[in-house]
Every structure is written in C-alpha cells, then in structure tokens.
Amino acid sequence: MRPYVGAELAILAIGGTLIVGVYLVAVLDRLLGAVVAGAPIRPFALVVDPARSAAQLLVQQRRTTERPDAPGWAFAPALFFGLGALALAMVPLGPNLVVADPATGFVVFSAAIAFVMIAVFLHGWSPNSPFALHGAYRYGAAALSFQIPFLLAMLATALPAQSLSIVDIVRAQETLWNVVREPLGLPIYLIVGVGVSFWGPLNLSDASDLAEGTSVEDSGIGRLLWKVARAGMLVAVAAMGAAGFLGGWWGPLLPGPVWVLVKTLVLLVMLIASGHLLARVRIESFVLVAWAILIPLALLNVFVSGATLL
C-alpha cells in the first residue's frame, strides 16, 4: 500500500500551492508582458494588479444569456480547477513527500488532462452563445489532436522507471534526467502543456479573434474562477513537467523540494513567456502538425527510449 497523506493536510497543501501558484502566474504574466514590450517595470503595481483585477471581477454585476445550461456553466470552472488540483496532488516534492502516489499515477494524470476537454467543451457549450460554442469546438479539435502525442511523450518517461507511478518515474532519473535521455519528450510535453491551458500560441478556444471564445459570456465571479482554473492547470502542467522530464527532486547542493520548485518555476516562465513571444497558431495548421509531425516524433521518442533500455 502506497502512502497517502490525510485529507486535511492534502487540502492545505494543494490549496496553498494553487493559491500561491495562480497568483504567481498572474504576476509573471504581467511581468513578462512588460519585459517583452520594453515597458517600465513597477514592482508594486505588478504585485497588486492581479488582486485588483480579481476584486473588480468579484463585485462586477453578473449577466446571463438566453436559455443557458446554468448547472453546466457553473460546474465547468469547478471541474477544470479540480482537474488541476488532481494533477498537482501527484507531483512529488521528495521520495516520501507527495500527497498521493497511486500505482497508476501516469494514467490518472492523463485522465485529468483528457477531462479538461470536457470542462472546456461544457464551458463553451452551456452559455448557448455562438462564439463560445466555436471556442468549444476549436478546443475539441485541438485537444483530440494533442492527446496522443501527449500520452506518447509521457509514456516514454514511464519506460525507464518500469512503473506508472510518478514517484518511481522521478526516482529513475537519478543518474540521467529524462530531458537528456529522451530530448524530444519535453518539447512535445510543453507544446501540449500550452494547449491544455489554452495559453499563448495555443489559446484557440478563448482567443481574441473569437471575442474570448468560450468565456465570451462569462462575467463576475464566473470569469474570475475560469481564469483561476486555467492558471491552476498551467501550474500543475509545469510541476508535472519538472517531475517527468527535469528529474524532480534530484539536483546538487540544494534540498529536493527546492529543486522541484526551481524547476517548476523555470517551466512556468517558459510556458507564460510563450504567450508574449509567439503568435497564436491557426487551428487547421496545428491539427495538421499534431497528427502528421508530433505523433511520429512522439513515437520515435518512445522507440528510442525503449531501445536504449534494451
């Protein structure tokens, strides 16, 4: 039987990480935007601005649409946020420092990523609004395309560990991190990671060319919760990337948990910076690239990492 922490500690750990992480994403997004734009950086404004935006959304009057699916609309952000929390719960800070380490952690994480499709589709479908529905269909097309490369990229990390447990996957990287052992894995994972939280170049479903797509009809706390859930998923993706490809807690000098935080932060900055440095791709091109290039590359990655283990 693998160790699980108690419910209170789990809620405290994951909730605390998500609150800090989501706020950090909001600050980093503004900071990197200012850096890329060459605008003056005012630290106080950067730190306060997310709280101000959140407060503004909290007191904003809520509006609704004609005949929406109200339960689905309310449920979608909660589901999305819960999936981020589920993914984060399996990221180990140390060999025995993890909220949950199911024997099939890799499959649980993949299921959480697959369920994001449902959350986003529900969010775009339920307001009964054309642009929102367009956004939902876009996410469906994009998500079905990046699901297979994502699974294959993650699968390659399970091969050297000979286990589906995330802790075992990190443990197997003691001598050689997966980013070196299988160089194709991390880039594919990051592309998918940007897609899962529909951030930056892969923000197709909530894109400005659709007047914010699935969240076009959101207002007030609903809009705030959706933004929070998106940022939370970005944090979870970065943390899992650090565990799966950057060797998790392994590293010289510093203690293990600090290494996990540093690596997560590096990936988080890369993911957020992509929004300010890269143009948004077109959905048609992305679907073509995903099926025709990413899947063969991911398969190659699996074959190479399998062959090196023989």
Partner 1 sequence: MIAGPIVDVAFWLFAIGSVVAGYRVFRTDSMVRAAFYLLASFTGVGGILVLLGAEFLGMVLILMMAGEMLVMAIVMVMFMMNPAGLNPMVMVHQNRIAAGAGIVAFVALAGVGLVGQFPDRPAPEPAAATAQLGTELLGDSMLVFQTAGVALLSTMIGAIAIAGRRGRYGVAEDGSVEPPLQPDEERAR
Binding site for partner 1 (CB under 8 A): 1, 67, 69, 72, 102-104, 107-108, 110-111, 114-115, 117-118, 121-122, 125, 128, 133, 137, 140, 143-144, 147, 163-165
Instruction: Between 13 and 103, name the residue whose CB sits nearer to partner 1.
Output: 103
CB of 284 to partner 1, least distance (A): 13
Instruction: Between 25 and 164, name the residue whose CB sits nearer to partner 1.
Output: 164
Instruction: Between 122 and 283, name the residue whose CB sits nearer to partner 1.
Output: 122
CB of 88 to partner 1, least distance (A): 17
CB of 2 to partner 1, least distance (A): 8
Q: What is the DSSP string of the chain?
A: ---B--HHHHHHHHHHHHHHHHHHHHHHHHHHHHHHHTPPP-HHHHHHHHHHHHHHHHHSPP---SS--HHHHHHHHHHHHHHHHHHHHT--SBTTB-SB--TTHHHHHHHHHHHHHHHHHHHHHTT--HHHHHHHHHHHHHHHHHHHHHHHHHHHHHHHHTSS-HHHHHHTTSSS-HHHHSTTHHHHHHHHHHHHTT-GGG--TT-GGGTTGGGTT--HHHHHHHHHHHHHHHHHHHHHHHHHTS-TT--SSS-HHHHHHHHHHHHHHHHHHHHHHSPPPPHHHHHHHIIIIIHHHHHHHHHHHHHHH-
CB of 115 to partner 1, least distance (A): 5
Instruction: Between 108 and 235, name the residue whose CB sits nearer to partner 1.
Output: 108
CB of 105 to partner 1, least distance (A): 9
Instruction: Between 126 and 173, name the residue whose CB sits nearer to partner 1.
Output: 126
CB of 218 to partner 1, least distance (A): 18
Instruction: Between 31 and 88, name the residue whose CB sits nearer to partner 1.
Output: 88
